[in-house]
Amino acid sequence: MNNTRKKYILWFILLFVVAGSIIGSFYIDHLRILKKQYSKSFDDSIAQLDQSMVEFFSTFENALEMFSQNEMVQKVSDKPDQYYLQTMQLFKSFQQSYAATAFAYFAPNKVILENKKLITWPDTSNELANTEWIAAKRPWYIGAVAEKGKIAWTKPYLDATTKKPIITLSKVVKDEKDEFKGVMAIDFFLDQLSNKIENFKAFKQGKAFVIGKDGKDYYFISNHMKNRKSDPIIEAAWRNNEFNKKYGSFSINEEDTDYYITYRTNETTGWKIIGIIEEEKIYQPAKDMIKKIFTSSLMIMGMGIMSIIYIFKQMRKSIKDLSNSLNNHENIQDIEQGLSDQFNTLLMKNEDDEDLIDESSSYMGSLFGSQRELERLMDFMNEEFEKNPVGNLKELENIIDGLNKFRKAFEESSLRLEQIQRENIENHMTFILDKMNELKKDYLDEDVATILYRMERKIIMREIEM
């Protein structure tokens, strides 16, 4: 009897070790996969912030190109009596159309109308007329000349008139004979750009920064952070030339804390868009989910092993009983029915295990299903939607409906990972809203407006009022 018990114990230990090894391998592999997945999601958030900035800058770049090629701007220094007021009106229309615009102005290659050094809106020409102010000595003027036809960008600085932080982009103006006529410039407030950075929330844990290069040093485009805890991290990475490529990601240790850093180079300005998050915070959701799977798997495996041992013991007992019964000339059919009843009882006892597996599968299925829907959204926005936005609105609405199902399912969940995934869906919905706002400017068709309104209501999860 003791030998039999020892065999059972040895078999149990062996099966448990094998099961533990299998589950351990599963844990490591899936932890690596989920780390990669969450890191990519963080990278994508920075890429979206970069794209949002490109779209923001394009308004001013396009306007600057248009002004530099405008005939009135090119000829105003030669015919100020004819073009001065018209040029100012042109700048006024633009400045009033875009709230982020501080000033739009042109510095001609010579003083016009006796004392006008600048044609600008808002009009500050009289304030500059009798001062020692010279446009050719200003950084935006010098930068534009140095760029030789390309757009130049200044560092952020405090505007003397509005007392707000602004950035100037400028470009030389030449006439049809390729003669230099002056420098065109636009100032825009950093408020909206700062809001885009402040609103960046990857898992509500990460921070975003925009920095420019000044020789070997760097400077912050928007000083929106009150707690500049991340400055030493950026400084260490910059010192180690980690930002040399156009885009990438890496880990860095600062004050015994590991940080994950991802970055992209903005093609318009050359600035670095940087996202920083503690590795523990980005990987913790993956660890929590894997631990739950690991624990559940161990429980199921343990119950399975116990069931196998119990079944084996029952089989041995049944065989022994069968042998005794045959010796006592008992009815064989009754014995077989007894064995069948015992196995049915065991199967009924294991129904809870199947429920546990089904519950785990449902939990994982929702998370991975929502992630597949998000990837489908981004692929769709980058391909079909870019080619034909209006024609693909119906398909985009279907995707929004699919994401809303997951968003509602996760809304009441107390599980941290599902809360995080809901926030990730919210970020993507904000991205869609930005795209829809652009369409509203470009398409005034009533049917398109109706579809956009309906989609907007779905995104903000309000019932459509009929």
Q: What confidence category does residue 166 fall into, taking pLDDT thresholds of 50, 70 and 90? A: very high
More confident residue, 100 or 324: 100
Q: Which residues are bridge partners to 186 per DSSP?
A: 104, 169
Closest CA to 175 of 301, 77, 56, 43: 77
Cβ–Cβ < 8 Å for 265, 246:
yes
pLDDT score of 130 = 83
CA dist 350 and 352 (Å) reads 5
pLDDT score of 335 = 43
Residue 4 has pLDDT above 80, yes or no: no
Residue 196 has pLDDT above 80, yes or no: no
Domains of the chain in sequence order: 2-27+283-459 (no CATH), 69-189 (3.30.450.20), 193-279 (3.30.450.20)
Mean pLDDT of 153-178: 91
Residue 35 has pLDDT above 90, yes or no: no
pLDDT score of 418 = 76
Residue 460 has pLDDT above 90, yes or no: no
CA dist 396 and 385 (Å) reads 8
Residue 3 has pLDDT above 70, yes or no: no
More confident residue, 245 or 438: 245
pLDDT score of 427 = 83
pLDDT score of 454 = 86
Q: What confidence category does residue 87 fall into, taking pLDDT thresholds of 50, 70 and 90? A: very high
Q: What confidence category does residue 346 fall into, taking pLDDT thresholds of 50, 70 and 90? A: very low
Most confident of the following: 97-106, 200-209, 252-261: 97-106
Residue 245 has pLDDT above 70, yes or no: yes
Closest CA to 452 of 461, 233, 443: 443
CA dist 448 and 393 (Å) reads 9
Token output for 370: 């929502």
Q: What confidence category does residue 289 fall into, taking pLDDT thresholds of 50, 70 and 90? A: low
Please state which of the ranges 88-102, 105-119, 211-225, 307-321 shows the lowest mean pLDDT: 307-321
Token output for 37: 């997945």
CA dist 83 and 89 (Å) reads 10
More confident residue, 344 or 418: 418
Please state which of the ranges 103-112, 163-172, 180-189, 274-283 shows the lowest mean pLDDT: 274-283
CA dist 341 and 183 (Å) reads 95
CA dist 211 and 265 (Å) reads 10
pLDDT score of 319 = 52
Most confident of the following: 13-17, 59-63, 182-186, 427-431: 182-186
Q: What size, in residues, is the chain?
A: 466
pLDDT tens sequence across 119-151: 999 998 888 888 889 999 999 999 999 999 999
Percent of all residues in the chain with a pLDDT value above 70, rounded to a whole number: 71
Provide CB contacts within 8 A for 374, sequence distance 6+: 403, 424, 425, 428
More confident residue, 370 or 142: 142
Mean pLDDT of 211-238: 77
Residue 22 has pLDDT above 80, yes or no: no
Mean pLDDT of 249-257: 88
pLDDT score of 27 = 59
pLDDT score of 283 = 65
Q: Is the model's pTM score more than 0.85?
A: no
Residue 357 has pLDDT above 60, yes or no: no
Mean pLDDT of the residues in the chain: 78
Token output for 289: 């989910």
CA dist 445 and 436 (Å) reads 14
Most confident of the following: 62-66, 267-271, 286-290, 302-306: 62-66
Cα pseudo-dihedral 434, 436, 441, 444, rounded to 10: -170
Exposure class string for 168-187: b at 16+ Cβ within 10 A, else e: bbbbbbeeeeeeebbbbbbb
More confident residue, 14 or 313: 14
pLDDT tens sequence across 430-448: 888 888 887 777 766 777 8
Cβ–Cβ < 8 Å for 144, 185:
yes
